[in-house]
Structure 1
Amino acid sequence: MTPGSNVPLAVDRVAVEVAAAVRLDVSGLLLGANGKVRSDDDFVFYNQPQGAGVAYRPGNGAGPDAIVVDTAVVPADVDKIVVTASLDGGGPFAGTTPTATVRGADDGAPIASFAPAGLGPETALVIVEVYRRGGAWKVRAIGQGYANGLAGIATDFGVTVDEPAAPAQQANAAPPAPTAPPAAPPVQAAPPSGPAATHLPPPPGAAPSVPAPQAAAGGRINLDKGRVNLRKNETVSLVKAGKPLLASVRMGLGWEPAFGGRNIDLDASVIAYDASRTPVATCYFGKLMVLDGAIQHHGDNLTGKGSGDDEAITVHLGGLPPEVTGLVFTVNSFSGQKFNKVKSAYCRLLDESSGEELVRFDLTKGEARTGVLMAKFIKQFSGEWEMTALGTFVDARTARALEKPGAEAL
């Protein structure tokens, strides 16, 4: 498997074995629709080997440790089981390539395998997830790295721990009792190691490491201090007062003809992708509503003249289907004029209900090309979305022609 790819499961019981040249600690977390565990009982590892339909199976020196999932008895309010690994005794994965092999738990028949490559400072990984989709079960390759050990993963998914240390460092201790989240935040996650990897925020209740909206580790900011002005390649986490923004938002896109230039017909669109970067739907002037109304285009502007947004697209973040994990907002020159003939191109994100401007990105200089990727949204494991300003110019005169470069930008 490659990062983001998925394979359907034809059997109810599967075992996810994780092996490496060094000893690993393997665990599984049962997550609901909100991307969190229901309680600390949903964290399955060597000190707590049994969960609801999920079990930890030690290798005992004869083979790799594994997480066994019986999909037939996993509770209905559990959407996915993520399988994680860290090095026994701690330390980074640099120089180590773990391999996850999914097998039939009863017959041992191989179903899929995944080996995330190019690892460095990561001390813990979300390797694969077993997830429910439309009544069927699948397994997806993830490869998300963390620099703060298994405890960092656990707290990001809602498990309470008494101190930010991986369970691997407490092999002889009793299971930690549930406590309040730590007062100090865990170290930020390591950079993603694959296209489906995403950055996860500190757990609810953790104190921010820097006052918002200054950049936190990794250059990410949030909405706590009001409107955020982004520069190219900067990212804002769509979180306000500790809560993910899941209501309806409107992306407004605007432009003006360059001084002395003629009218220019640009078209805004948004392309929705799944975790494997495959386009799910494209919303543009020729298709004003997609995904059962979760994304709506407000109509075409043929000139770019006039104040305010030239085109706008509303996204009901909470109404997007679960397979949509990425959105790319684009503008293309249908008439073939180049973006060096455009001035004052921008995109801005507004709260649909209040009209409040949340994020703005001004693209000051255009290139002699016919398409531009303005911004992307990526859904995190925690359920929140992050917006990144792109400003990447490409040769594309239609929304369809922007699907491939949009996928490459995710």
Structure 2
Amino acid sequence: MAIKLTTGQRISLRKEAPGLTTLLLGLSWDLLQEKGIKKLFKSDFDLDAAVLCLDEQGRLRSGNDVVYYGHLNHPSGAITHLGDNTTGEGDEDNEQVLVNLPQVPAHIARIVFVCTIYECFARRQNFGQMGDAYVRLVDMEQEHEIASYSLSHDDYREQTAIVLAEVYRQEGRWQVAVLGKGMRVGSLQALVELYTTP
């Protein structure tokens, strides 16, 4: 049974998914029509999942270490974004990212998963207006859902980005930490700059 994660919780991938090689992060959110509030907005919600590959100092070394809808593959081949869903339509994950853990380059100490809302300020959208949304972690070899985390919290009212979780190295083993840190930024680029400015 998948673990229902809470903010601040940490789990060991070695314990929860022995032999894990390929990790999938799936992001899903409800259509606004299902919540009866679509008429309030000119556009559908477009959530964008992205991955920031950080070094031991918690910094991005280059733009190649950001994997998102405009840069779908990390140069190492270790991380792949499976494409952008701009409306939230679909029954399962709306966006997915694959991480092949053995292929992750040695300089990457933390793999941070983030979520932003496309053109959030222009569309006057934030996570407090969302329907149900969640993130899940899946062991692809075993086709087993390891854990999930709900984004439908009052804590995210007025927030336009969430630093969801990170997979990090600890004594040579991969661990997961749920961060659940909401913030108000206008774009993915603005979020990325927080990890590049000394």
TM-score by length of 1: 0.42
Distance 1:324 1:390 in 2: 18
Matches within 5 A, 1:198-217: none
1:261 aligns with 2:51: no
Q: How does 1:104-183 map to 2 (within 5 A)?
A: none
Pairs within 5 Å for 1:1-20: none
1:370 aligned residue: 160
Equivalent position of 2:7 in the other structure: 232
Q: Does 1:248 align with 2:32?
A: no
- Give the Cα–Cα distance (whole angstroms) in 2 for the partners of residues 254 and 404 of structure 1: 25
* Match for residue 101 of structure 2 among 317, 337, 340: 317
Equivalent pair of 1:374/1:389 in contact (CA under 8 Å): yes
Instruction: Please report how far the alpha carbon of residue 286 of structure 1 lies from its aligned counterpart in structure 2 after TM superposition.
Output: 0.2
CA positional deviation for 1:306: 2.3
- Aligned twin of 2:41: none
Which one has a larger percent helix, Structure 1 or Structure 2?
A: 2
Equivalent-residue separation in structure 2 for 1:241 and 1:378 (angstroms): 15
Match of 1:273 in 2: 54
Mapped partners of 1:242, 1:276: distance in 2: 27
Q: CA deviation at 1:386?
A: 1.2
For 1:176-195, what aligned pairs fall within 5 Å after superposition?
none
1:241/1:376 Cα in 2 relative to 1: closer, same or farther (>3 Å)? closer
| Separation in structure 2 between the aligned mates of residue 356 and residue 248 of structure 1, nearest angstrom | 11
User: Which of 1 and 2 has greater Rg?
Assistant: 1
Structure-2 change in CA distance of 1:303 and 1:279 (3 Å): same
Instruction: Name the structure 1 match of 2:87.
Output: 303
Going from structure 1 to structure 2, the CA distance change for 1:317 and 1:342 (only over 3 Å counts) comes to same
Task: State the AA in 2 paired with 1:399.
Answer: L
**Residue pair 1:373, 1:391 contacting (<8 A) in 2 also:** yes
- Distance in 2 (CA, whole Å) between partners of 1:320 and 1:283 is 13
Deviation of 1:346 (Å): 1.0
Tell me the SS of whatever aligns to 2:128. helix
Counterparts in 2 of 1:339 and 1:353: CA distance versus 1, 3 Å: same
Residue 364 of structure 1 and its aligned partner are, at CA, apart by 2.3
Structure 1 runs of 4+ aligned residues shifted over 4 Å read: 404-407
Work out the CA distance in 1 between the residues paired with 2:76 and 2:17.
29
The one-letter amino acid of 2:149's match is F
Q: How many residues align?
A: 181
- Counterpart Cα distance in 1 of 2:72 and 2:176: 22
Cα distance in 1 for residues equivalent to 2:77 and 2:47: 23
Deviation at 1:400, TM superposition (A): 2.6
Ranges in structure 1 where 5+ consecutive residues have no aligned partner: 1-225
Further displaced range: 358-367 or 326-335: 358-367
Partner Cα separation in structure 1 for residue 157 and residue 117 of structure 2: 12
* Secondary structure class of the residue paired with 1:289: coil
RMSD: 2.2
Matched-pair identity in %: 29
Deviations 1:1-53 (A, max 9, x none): xxxxxxxxxxxxxxxxxxxxxxxxxxxxxxxxxxxxxxxxxxxxxxxxxxxxx
Change (3 A) 1:390 1:257: farther
- Letter matched to residue 66 of structure 2: T
Query: Larger relative contact order (C-alpha < 8 A, sep ≥ 6)?
Result: 2
